Amino acid sequence: MIIPTPAPRHTRGSIRRPQDPIGEEAGVVRLDRNQRITPIADAIVRELKNRLSATVIQSYPNPLPFRGSLSQSTGLSPPQIAVTAGADAAIRLIFQAFVRPGDVVLLPTPTYSMYSTYIEIFEARLQPVPYGDDLKLDLQRFREGLLYSPRLAVIANPDQPTGAVLPFVVIEEFAEIAARQGTLLLVDEVYFPFYPETALSCLKRFSNVAVLRSFSKIFGLAGLRLGFVASDENIIAAIEQVQGLHEVSSTALVAGDFVLNHSELIADYTREVEEGRRVLRTAAATLGLTFPACRGNFQIVGVPSRFGLDNVVRKLYEEGFRVRSLSQVPLLRNYFRVALGGTEIMEQFAVALRRAFC
């Protein structure tokens, strides 16, 4: 007897899932993934390895010590913090805990693509708020969207791929409107502190705000999958209720606790990124490329249409650099995105960029 394969909840291909090429390519520098480019110092890596004892590896993870460290770092109480397996897992948990089929999610567009994917997975309804041609969010439309009491409203600050930011006073205003409407406001700060303004202080006034952070960007721990959500204790309790028992690995917890106590990693990497941005800005100006303000560890670059974005991206790959084409994003159809490294690697990339326009 042939037993039929159980039908999945969603048919294959019905969920628009973003494509993310994985793995390393010989002779190619991956500048397409917004991850740390230059290695963490050997001395730091050796010290971290010394903390990964057999007990750590063979025991089920205990997130409480790390949550205590986050409490000290943020000034929040431990019950206001949920430790997650990266920012993606945190987003999924928030949808799982709070978003029901048919609920409305207010979302800037374009923004991090997995938000739209989770809206589809959890059968919610997207209410988009567009960025304008100036790469600024339509704040009035977002305010108006909040007045319709969406279940969830999302602001990524800085946002990606636009690189746009909103000042704290705007976030605070959104939080106040959302509180009156019974809306959960998620402030995605995965690129903090490249942009150092934060919405954490909103948690003192509002019980409907959640702030999302990641250890993938500023700390360079993308491979370990570590992040956290900070919010009201009741919000955190709801998130933890739908979280797997041991979703965050012991290795990630030890590494997270370790880097929290090495603030020089933040200062060094922030300086490195801004030095690399200056190198790229100079090269872009020489070539007449568009160079919008960005506040993450990445930069978007606009290519005049006569050169052809796909042609430029292909030539950069032939020169040994993979960048992310944004041609599928209507607002950014002539842009590519590049992760930023230090002066040395960005000078090499600048040379490749000039050759791509020869």
Yes or no: say if 219 and 227 are a contact pair by the CB < 8 Å rule: no
What pLDDT sits at residue 263? 86
- E strand or H helix that includes residue 231: strand 227-231
Residue partners of 313: CB distance under 8 A and separation at least 6? 323, 325, 336
Tokens of 258: 């370790």
What pLDDT sits at residue 2? 72
What pLDDT sits at residue 20? 66
- Angle between helix 309-318 and 343-356 (nearest 10): 120
In the predicted model, is pLDDT for residue 22 greater than 70?
no
Alpha-helical regions (H) of the chain: 42-50, 54-58, 64-74, 86-98, 114-121, 139-146, 168-181, 233-241, 250-260, 264-287, 309-318, 343-356
Measured between alpha carbons, how far is 155 from 101 in angstroms, rounded to an integer? 21
Question: What SS3 state is found at 130?
Answer: strand
What pLDDT sits at residue 41? 87
Yes or no: say if 352 and 321 are a contact pair by the CB < 8 Å rule: yes
In the predicted model, is pLDDT for residue 302 greater than 90?
yes
What pLDDT sits at residue 7? 67
Render pLDDT for 215-242 as a digit per residue (tens, 0 to 9): 999 999 999 999 999 999 999 999 999 9
Yes or no: say if 249 and 290 are a contact pair by the CB < 8 Å rule: no
Render pLDDT for 173-232 as a digit per residue (tens, 0 to 9): 999 999 999 999 999 999 999 999 999 999 999 999 999 999 999 999 999 999 999 999
Measured between alpha carbons, how far is 188 from 27 in angstroms, rounded to an integer? 34
Q: What average pLDDT is seen over the chain?
A: 94
In the predicted model, is pLDDT for residue 296 greater than 80?
yes
Task: Output the CA angle 38-113-145, nearest 5 degrees.
Answer: 130
Tokens of 232: 């009201």
Please, how many CA atoms are within 13 Å of residue 47, restricted to the half-sphere of its CB?
10
Render pLDDT for 303-328 as a digit per residue (tens, 0 to 9): 999 999 999 999 999 999 999 999 99
Please tell me the least confidently modeled range out of 18-32, 39-53, 57-71, 284-298.
Answer: 18-32
Q: Give the confidence band of 358 by pLDDT, cuts at 50, 70, 90.
A: confident
Please tell me the least confidently modeled range out of 12-16, 114-118, 286-290.
Answer: 12-16
Question: What SS3 state is found at 338?
Answer: strand
What is the pTM for the complete model shown?
0.94
Q: What is the pLDDT averaged over residues 117-126?
A: 97
Amino acid identity, position 134:
D
